[in-house]
Structure 1
Amino acid sequence: MPLATAEVCDANAQSITNGELRALHPIFKIYGRRPVFAGPIATVKIFEDNVLVRELLQEKGHGRVLVIDGGGSMRCALLGGNLAQLAQNNGWAGIVVNGCIRDVDEINGCDIGVRALNSHPMKSNKKGVGEKHVAVAIAGARICDGEWLHADSDGILISTTELTV
C-alpha cells in the first residue's frame, strides 16, 4: 500500500530535521497512469541528451525510480513515449525528469509514474554525454543513487531508507 506523503511528513518530523527525509520543491507536473509510486532511486545526470536514459531504462527496473537531472532545460524533451513504454515493460515504478518530456498522450497511457517540469516537442541530442549513478541536486534537494523516492499528488519525498508510517 503506497504511503501518503503528507502523512509521512507528519509522522517523521525528526527525519526531516536531520535531513534523512527531504521534500522536493513543488515544480513537477504529473504524468503517466500511476499518480502514486515509490521505489529505490537510480540517478542520471545529463544535459539535452538522453542516450544514458535509454541505457538505464533498458535494464530491469525491479521497481526502481529513475531520477533524471536534465539541468532543468526547457529546450528539448528527455523522455518520450517509447522510453516510457520501455520503462513500463522493464518494471520501473516511475521516472522524475528535471527537464521536459514529449509524447504526453503516449506517456499518459503507460502504467508508470512520471513527473516532469513540462512538455516540449523537440527531441534531445544523441551523443551519450553524462553520468550514471551519481548524486544530483534538483528541486532543492540532493538525491543519491540508492535512496528512496515516494511520490503522490501532494509531492515527492526523498529518504535515505524505505519509509513507513
Structure 2
Amino acid sequence: MCTFIPTADIADIYGNDVLSCDTQMRDFGGKTDFAGRIVTIRCFQDNQLVKEMLNSPGEGKVLVVDAGGNTQTAMVGDKIAKSAADNGWRGIVVNGAIRDSAGIAELPIAVKAIGTNPRKSAKDGLGVVDASLTFGGVTFIPGHTLYADSDGIILMPEPLMN
C-alpha cells in the first residue's frame, strides 16, 4: 500500500529531478488524491482490456490507460469505474476520454482523463497490457509508483515514506 504524499511536496523534495506528467488532466472521480503501483494498458478506441482489468482485484493499484490522447471514444464509463472501486483499485488515469462523468463523480475512486465523450468504444480486446507508456513527457512503467492529486501526476520508481 502506498501512503499518499501531496505532489507539490514531492516536487519540493526532488526539485528538477521530479518526474511530473505535463499532460493537463481533469479530475472526474469522487476522490482526487491517490497513490499506487502502476498497471498499464495501451489501447485505441477499444476498452475491452480496460474493462477486464478493472473487473479484477486491484489491490490498491492504479491503472494507466494510454488511448493516444484520443477523445473520439470513451475508455471508461461509470459501470467500469464502479467495478474498479468495488475491486480495490485506487485510481485510473486515462490519456483519452471517459464518459458518464456525473456518475463517476459519485464513486469512491479517483479518475483523471483529458476529457469526456459520450461515444462508447469497441470491445474487440485490442491493445497491450503492462507495456511502458510515454506521454506528458514521462514514461509510466508497470510496477513503479504514481502519486496524483489536483495539482498533477508524479512518478517514482519506489513508494515514498512520509
TM class by shorter-chain length?
Answer: over 0.9
Give matches, 1:109-124, under 5 Å. Answer: 109-124=106-121
Q: Deviations over 1:134-160 (max 9, x none)?
A: 101121111110010000111110111
Match for residue 133 of structure 1 among 130, 134, 152: 130
Q: Which runs of 4+ in 1 moved over 3 A?
A: none
Q: Distance in 1 between matches of 2:115 and 2:102?
A: 13
Report the counterpart of residue 11 of structure 1 in structure 2.
13
Amino acid in structure 2 at the alignment position of 1:61 = G
Identical columns (%): 38
Q: Distance in 2 between matches of 1:44 and 1:76?
A: 16
Asked whether the equivalents of residues 144 and 155 of structure 2 are also in contact (C-alpha less than 8 Å), the reply is yes
Amino acid in structure 1 at the alignment position of 2:97 = C
Amino acid in structure 1 at the alignment position of 2:122 = N
**Offset of residue 58 of structure 1:** 1.3
Asked whether the equivalents of residues 23 and 135 of structure 2 are also in contact (C-alpha less than 8 Å), the reply is no
Q: Distance in 2 between matches of 1:139 and 1:83?
A: 25
Q: Give the TM-score taking structure 1 as reference length.
A: 0.93
**Offset of residue 4 of structure 1:** 1.1
**Offset of residue 103 of structure 1:** 0.3
Asked whether the equivalents of residues 8 and 164 of structure 1 are also in contact (C-alpha less than 8 Å), the reply is no
Query: 5+ residue gaps in structure 2?
Result: none
Report the counterpart of residue 74 of structure 2 in structure 1.
77
Q: How many residues end up aligned between the 2 structures?
A: 160
**Offset of residue 26 of structure 1:** 4.2
Q: Give the TM-score taking structure 2 as reference length.
A: 0.95
Q: Distance in 2 between matches of 1:29 and 1:163?
A: 24
- Over the residues paired in the alignment, what is the CA RMSD in angstroms? 1.1
SS in 1 for 2:89: coil
